[in-house]
Structures are given as C-alpha cells and as structure tokens.
C-alpha cells in the first residue's frame, strides 16, 4: 500500500497527486493494450540505437581517445549501474504505471519540484536530440547516395540539402508518431531488424576474418586486458568514459514511457527495459571488439566515420554501404523513439496541470498526444533550420554527446535513489527485491550522480554549452518563479512510501 507522509502521519493515497484529471483527457485516452512484450522490447532496443550510438560515440573518438583499447571494459562498467536503474524502473512501474515514468515517481517520492525538474530536463534533452539526430540522418542519407554515385560530393556536403533532408526525416517520423502507436511500432520493427542484422553479422564476420587471416600481422589479436577496467587510470578519465557509456545505453526507458499503451502495463514495459539492456550490451561489446581487432590503432584514433570504415575493411565497398544504411535506419529509429516518450512525459505533466494544456490533448481518432507531439517536433524543426542558417550553431551538435551523458546520468541516478527511498519500508519482504529494488538502485544512483560531479570537475562548466546550461537553469527556475505560484496544490503534495512490493 502507498501512503502519503506528512507530519509523521500516513494517509492512503487516492490517486496521482490527488489531482482530478482534466475533463478533456477523460474523453480520449492513449491506446491501451496496443503493445506486447516483444513490441516494447523492440522499441527499447531501437531507442538505444546501437548503430547510431556507435557512429556518434566511436566515430567521434570520444571513448577511444579517453580509454584506448580498454573501451569494452568501460562499456561493461557503464552497463552495471544502468542495469540496476532499469530494475528501479521495473519496480516503480509495478506500483505506478504512469507514462510520465520518472517524472511522476520523483514527484511522488521526493518532492513535486524534483519531479518537475526531471520531467522538464527529459523533454529538453529530447528536443535537442531531435535536432541532432535528423541532421545526422540527413548527413548519412546524402553520404549513402554519394557512395552509390547518385549525388556529387558538393551536393552531399551542402548545408542546404542537409537541412532540407533533415526536415524531411523529421516530418516523416512525426507523422508515424501522430498516426498511432501501432504505426510507430511497426516502423520500429523494420528499422531495428535492418540495424541489428547489419551490425551483428558484420561484427561476427570481422572477428572471423581476423581469426582466419593468412596475414594476422595486419590485424590486432584479441586481448583479455580489453575487459580489465583497472587499466584505466584517473577518476576523471573513468567519469568521462562512463558518461559516454551512459549516453550509449540511453533510451531503453522509452518502453516504460509507453506503459499506458502496453499490455500488462505494470510488468511488460519494465521487463522490456531489462531485456533490452542485455541485448544492447552484447551488441556494443561485440562491435567494439570487432573494430579493435579489424582496424589498426591509427584508424581507431583518427577516423570520423568508423562504422563506414569498419564495413569497408570487413568486405569492401558494398559492406560500407550497408553500414551507412544501418546507421541511417538506426538514427531515424532513435529520433522517433525520442519524440514518442517526450510527448508522453509532457502529456503526463499537462494531465497533472503543470505543463501547457494543449500537451494534455489526446486525439480521439489516433489516440496519441497529437498537439504535444506536433509542438515538440515544430520546436526541433525550427532549431534544425537555425543550425542550417548559422554555422556557429552547429557547435551545439558537435558537443551534445559529451553533455547529454551527464544529463542522462543525473536523471537516471535520481530515479535509482527514488526507488530505494520509496521501498525502504518493504525491505524485509523478499531478499531479491531488497537487493534489486533497494540496495543496488541506491548504489547505482550514487555512482551515476558521482559521474555528473566528476565529469563537471574534469571538464569544467565551460565544457557545458549554452544549450545545456540554459536547459538546466530553466528546469530549476521555472517551478520557483512561475509554476509554484500558479499550481500551489501540485507543489504541496505530500510524498509517498511503499510498504509492499505489489500495488494495493
């Protein structure tokens, strides 16, 4: 049973924040039961987008330059705390399957202002990502067409064509999100199959090629030391590497934000999140190992398009085309699965009365938060045009990966601590729950928040660009300056504590 805690007393909770649902959201709701466990898992792994993540993190040399050939070890080290944050999501979702997910849970468990900060932060980084990813998709689309000989190099490098194509991808992605969760998920299935088949088959093929090579001196032999994180020196270096690792794993929580549209909403979304974590870990480790074996160290440290180079080294030009197409499909997929949860979080916040009313509007025909989706897409689209017009604005894109890792670590870390605190009264119920629902989420939360502190200490506030600083400042100041005066009831809700694992 959940209890509100105030002045040392406990009273039963009647509903989320005790606030009535606006009348217009009672007429039309999200499409319940549309996704099964396999659908939710496909969305989760597609959201994490291994091919896109590998291209943006490996290709930009951030992780390799930080830890060298011990990158696989840092992938595994980064995976461990994120895995138990996924368990935290699973346990919290069992008690309250709300599409606001961590926004809702932090509001109820810590303080409504903390939840609002978390929700606004997630929406903000999602919008920024929906600027970056379509531009990347456009860049890979043009590169793919150039590699086929259908486009000149000048056209492929054209800022105008990149902007136009990025807008085209954003419009297509938004249309799927608007037309319904089933349309969006079916599109995800197509994209995730293309991506995973290409990356897995080529990675295994690359390893086999090295193992069977008649000239092994051309390649790098596998070393168990690649999996030893003790060879990485310096807390700052580890924090930077783990921030990048956190970015690589970011996205699996999309499945939980779609809980109100899932079958068995209190269990399947959390299960999908955990399953996807293991699948994505296997993909990342496999590809890092294959790349380090197949490509020379100089290429690893200097290539700006590593997956393309990897495909070419594996099987020639046709394989590099396939890799380009895999990254393209991955980028499109992750853009869609970033827009989907941000629209659900803003819908949940509007439903609670602390976000503009239009974000709480559900289309009776499509059963999606159509207005909120369109507004978020429009903001992203306007920023894409701004980036295309202003060369200086593209600097935001080039530094986003470093910054978003710390931001994701922040909200994941807070959710881990919230889970441990919410279930503190249920610690005796089951020993495995005590471990997976309290102890390990708490420790993982501490680790992730420490990453944020060390990453800032290592890179300084100057490493945080204006977009991230403005986003954090807005998330902190808005509830203090504006919302707290207009929505006092929300910000004075008592917190909850759970005395059992299962809901009442």
Element (H, E) at 9: strand 9-12
pLDDT at 414 over 90: yes
Identity of the highest mean pLDDT range in 59-68, 291-300, 371-380: 371-380
Distances (CA, A) of 189 to 99, 105, 259: 21, 29, 18
**Contact between 72 and 354 (Cβ < 8 Å):** no
What mean pLDDT is predicted for residues 396-404? 60
* CATH class of the domain whose range is 2-30+50-63+74-94+102-498: mainly alpha
The span from the CA of 440 to the CA of 434, in Å, is 9
The span from the CA of 88 to the CA of 432, in Å, is 13
Counting every residue written for the chain, the total comes to 504
Element (H, E) at 496: strand 495-498
Q: What is the pLDDT of residues 160-213, one digit of tens each?
A: 999 999 999 999 999 999 999 999 999 999 999 999 999 999 999 999 999 998
What's the pLDDT at 151? 86
For the chain, give the mean pLDDT: 84
pLDDT at 148 over 90: no
pLDDT at 401 over 90: no
Q: What is the pLDDT of residues 253-281, one digit of tens each?
A: 999 999 999 999 999 999 999 999 999 99
The span from the CA of 146 to the CA of 125, in Å, is 31
- Looking at residue 100, the DSSP 8-state letter turns out to be T
- The domain locations on the chain are 2-30+50-63+74-94+102-498
Q: Report the candidate in 184, 21, 132 with the shortest Cα–Cα distance to residue 384.
A: 132
What's the pLDDT at 50? 85
Q: Report the candidate in 286, 242, 267, 233 with the shortest Cα–Cα distance to residue 406.
A: 242
Element (H, E) at 430: none
The span from the CA of 18 to the CA of 5, in Å, is 13
What's the pLDDT at 59? 44
Helices 440-459 and 394-422, packing angle to 10 deg: 150
């Amino acid at each position: 049973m959940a209890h509100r805690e105030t002045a040392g007393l406990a009273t039963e909770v009647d509903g989320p924040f005790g606030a009535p649902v606006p009348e217009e959201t009672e007429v039309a709701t999200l499409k319940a039961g549309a996704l099964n466990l396999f659908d939710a898992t496909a969305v989760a792994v597609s959201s994490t987008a291994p091919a896109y993540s590998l291209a943006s993190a490996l290709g930009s040399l951030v992780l390799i330059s930080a830890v060298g050939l011990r990158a696989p070890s840092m992938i595994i080290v980064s995976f461990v705390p994120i895995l138990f944050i996924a368990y935290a999501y699973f346990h919290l979702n069992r008690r309250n399957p709300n599409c606001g997910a961590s926004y809702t849970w932090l509001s109820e468990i810590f303080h409504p202002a903390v939840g609002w900060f978390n929700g606004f932060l997630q929406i903000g980084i999602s919008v920024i990502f929906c600027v970056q990813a379509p531009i990347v998709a456009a860049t890979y689309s043009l590169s793919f067409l150039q590699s086929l000989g259908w486009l000149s190099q000048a056209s492929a490098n054209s800022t105008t064509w990149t902007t136009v194509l990025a807008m085209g991808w954003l419009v297509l992605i938004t249309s799927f999100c608007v037309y319904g969760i089933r349309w969006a998920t079916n599109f995800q299935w197509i994209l995730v199959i293309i991506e995973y088949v290409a990356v897995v088959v080529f990675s295994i093929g690359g390893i086999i090629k090295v193992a069977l090579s008649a000239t092994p001196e051309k390649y790098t032999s596998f070393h168990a030391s690649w999996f030893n994180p003790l060879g990485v020196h310096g807390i700052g270096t580890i924090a930077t590497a783990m921030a990048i690792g956190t970015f690589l794993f970011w996205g699996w929580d999309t499945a939980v934000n779609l809980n109100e549209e899932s079958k068995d909403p209190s269990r399947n979304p959390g299960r999908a999140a955990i399953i996807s974590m293991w699948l994505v870990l296997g993909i990342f480790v496999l590809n890092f190992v294959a790349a380090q074996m197949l490509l020379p160290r100089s290429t690893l440290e200097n290539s700006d398009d590593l997956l393309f180079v990897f495909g070419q080294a594996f099987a020639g030009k046709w394989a590099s085309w396939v890799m380009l197409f895999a990254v393209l499909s991955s980028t499109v997929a992750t853009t869609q699965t970033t827009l989907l949860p941000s629209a659900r979080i803003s819908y949940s916040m509007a439903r609670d009365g602390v976000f503009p009313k239009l974000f709480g509007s559900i289309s009776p025909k499509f059963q999606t938060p159509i207005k909120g989706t369109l507004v978020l897409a429009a903001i992203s689209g306007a920023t894409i045009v701004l980036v295309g017009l202003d060369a200086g604005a593209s600097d935001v894109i080039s530094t986003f990966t470093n910054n978003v890792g710390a931001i994701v670590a922040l909200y994941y870390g807070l959710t881990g601590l919230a889970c441990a605190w919410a279930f503190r009264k249920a610690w005796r119920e089951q020993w495995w729950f005590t471990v997976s629902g309290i102890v390990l989420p708490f420790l993982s939360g501490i680790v992730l928040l420490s990453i944020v502190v060390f990453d800032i200490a290592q890179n300084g506030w100057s490493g945080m660009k204006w977009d991230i600083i403005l986003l954090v400042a807005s998330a902190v100041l808005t509830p203090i300056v504006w919302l707290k005066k207009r929505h006092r009831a929300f910000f004075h809700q008592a917190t909850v504590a759970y005395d059992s694992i299962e809901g009442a």
